[in-house]
Homo-oligomer: A and B are copies of this chain.
Amino acid sequence: MPKFDVVIVGAGILGLSTAYHIKKRNLAARILVIDKFNAAGQGSTAKSASAFRCLFSSYTNYVLADSSVEFYRHLQENLRIDLKMQWTGYLWLLDKENWRKILPVLKSLCRKGFGFKEYEKEDLVKQVSLNIDLTNDEEARLMNLKNVYKGVFIPKAGIVDAACLVEFYEKEFLRLGGEIRYGIKAENIVIEPCESFGIPNEPYFWQDSRIAGVKTDKGVIKADKTILATGAWISEFLDVLGIECFIRPKKRQIFCIPAKNEALKQLLFTKGFNPVGCLPFTILPHYQILIRPFPSEGVFWLGYADEFPRAFKLEEDPQPEKNFYQFGIYQVLVKYFPQFKDCRPTSAFAGLYAINTLDGQPVIFEERDLIIVGGTSGSGIMKADAIGRIAAALFNGEEYAFLYGGRRFKVSDLGLKDRRVEQEKLII
């Protein structure tokens, strides 16, 4: 194989956004993207809930998501590239305790001009036939479920089609002359001494050394820069090199429930929240079960990001667990939304979050000609464009990246050495 200027491992949303933005800014560079699957976005990207929101207390979260979402909006509205973006909004159902906790955060965001709407519980009952009062439900008490006290609605939020987004970046990257080879599995990162002494098992610690490419099941691919955008698999490559990236894999599951009866249809196509005329992306109190509407398919997606004792574990083909729905999500869901009584998923899927255990924000850094792009902790889709631009700025040796809309972002803020990310307080 010829030597490339850049080889990017991973044709998921981050790998392709990175590939596109580097290529766009370095048209002469020979850039190859490889992926173990036979098409783009077939790994964890395909398993995403594909929702987005632009309201965060943390500047880091906000600027990465908002600029990416504005870019997607530009693609869809101005360039007529159909990403199936729908502005469903986000609806948080809050118990009293959480409401009190986030009230000051919301107030401060309000002063900054961010838009959201407060819902009284009685109005929520009217609008979505929600069960807000579980006081007399003995089971709910044992399960530690809380009454709904308020609703908070964010209009600048919604859903998007991850496959369409991936297709955009793939197509544009190829159009600019980028190369992609599917069905190639990266096995190892290639280390080389900067100057060989011809001794066995080089490099030794007293030799300068660098990453020179990637060993795959189809042979070695050499490159000046190697970029790892392998999501949950990043640490597997880095552990071998003794490089810490603080990115850990965790399985996340989504269960699909069709709106097959009148009550569920009414819920899915709830009016009054958004221009789509559907239920917003909704988050239950305390156990933040999420209901992701998929109005064009007539289904709900249900998920829950369980922490303890969900293992940090790599799996080639993670599977959804029937019990996780039946004894987990369903038990909580049906208390608030009796419409789901006796509903079982008709399909389900599972993917791996690449969780940054430091702060949940993306990680973008370079070490010895190896660039790491990952750790999006479940918000890779909504931040992918900004991340690609920041990775491209790092590649080009620039101090700042310019995100869509012109906002500046300091590249080292997402690195590990001089990392500076604002903590998110809008966690409910």
Cβ B327 vs Cβ A287 within 8 A: no
Give Cα A92–Cα B208 distance, bound, in whole angstroms.
Answer: 23
In the bound assembly, the distance between CA atoms of A366 and B331 in angstroms comes to 30
- The A301-315 residues at the B interface (CB cut-off 8 A) are 304, 306-313
CB of A200 within 8 Å of the partner chain:
yes
Please tell me which one of the listed residues B204, B240, B311 contacts residue A240 in the complex, with CB atoms under 8 A apart: B311
Cross-chain contact A242 with B328 (CB below 8 angstroms): no
Which residues of chain A (138-196) have a CB below 8 Å from chain B? Answer: 142-145, 191, 195
So how many copies of this chain end up in the complex?
A: 2
Partner of A239, one of B143, B206, B207, B313: B313
Tell me the complex Cα distance, A209–B310, Å: 13
Contact A368/B205 with A199-B327, A200-B323 known, Cβ cut-off 8 Å: no
The residues of B that contact A191 with a CB separation of less than 8 Å are 309
| Chain B nearest Cβ from A144, distance in angstroms | 7
Q: How many residues of A contact B (CB 8 A)?
A: 44
* Contact yes or no, B242 A204, CB < 8 A: no
List which A11-58 residues lie within 8 A (CB) of chain B: none
* A136 in contact (CB, < 8 A): no
A85 CB to nearest B CB, Å? 31
A242 touching B331 in the complex, CB below 8 Å, given contacts A144-B208, A201-B323, A206-B144 = no
The contact string, 1 if C-beta is below 8 Å from chain B, for chain A 206-244, is 111100000000000000000000000000000111111
The answer to whether A242 touches B327, judged by C-beta atoms less than 8 angstroms apart, is no
Residues of B within 8 A of A312 (CB): 239, 242, 244
A332 close to chain B: CB less than 8 A: yes
> Does A206 lie within 8 Å of B331, measured CB to CB?
yes
A200 touches B242 (CB 8 A): no
- The 7 tightest CB contacts between A and B, nearest first, are A244-B357, A241-B309, A242-B310, A205-B306, A239-B312, A204-B328, A240-B311
